Amino acid sequence: MENHRYLAFYKPYDVLSTFTDPDERSTLSDYIKVRGVYAAGRLDRDSEGLLLLTTDGDLIHQLTDPKHRMPKTYFIQVEGIVTPEALTRLESGVDIQGYRTRRCQVMQIPEPDFPPRSKPIVPHGPVSWLRIVLHEGKKRQVRHMSAAVGLPTLRLIRIAIGAIALGDLRPGQWRDLTATEIARLKRDS
């Protein structure tokens, strides 16, 4: 039986979800010195939050394959006032780039307590926060969904993948998953 590593990492804003970059931008290698781990999915450079990394290729496949419908939870700051109609449209699925998103869970939340972003956000009007749980993950999907209902995303933070949550991690910090967390991820994926 192989010994694998399983890490939870709080990816900061302006960091690529890769270990190398020909343009010498900030990458995972600036924070994680564990050999052989790869990201199970991605977060865009301008997104923050939970990223799982592992040496277990089978688990990476299970976590990233849409047929497994692993829930991913995001807190997003949007520009604008959230209406009940916008929430209903998001939950029901919206058309983005020729694709209709699956049903999801969406609710407005009070402003969460996160560390300030390295590059401050300067909104042009009122802002609101949403909690969105997706069971799919198209490229920049959350941003496209919020824009489709007239609520551009200003800040996006993934707070959980399945039962694994950011917890007490701060931007740039990582930790090994517990045996219980690993077993639950494998069971749920």
φ and ψ of 68, to 5 deg: -85, -15
Name the pairing type of β-strands 164-165 and 153-161. antiparallel
Residues 6+ apart with CB under 8 A from 61: none
Active site residue 14: no
Q: How far apart are CA 19 and CA 32, in angstroms?
A: 9
Q: How far apart are CA 93 and CA 132, in angstroms?
A: 12
Catalytic residue of the set 14, 44, 46, 188: 44
Catalytic (active-site) positions: 44
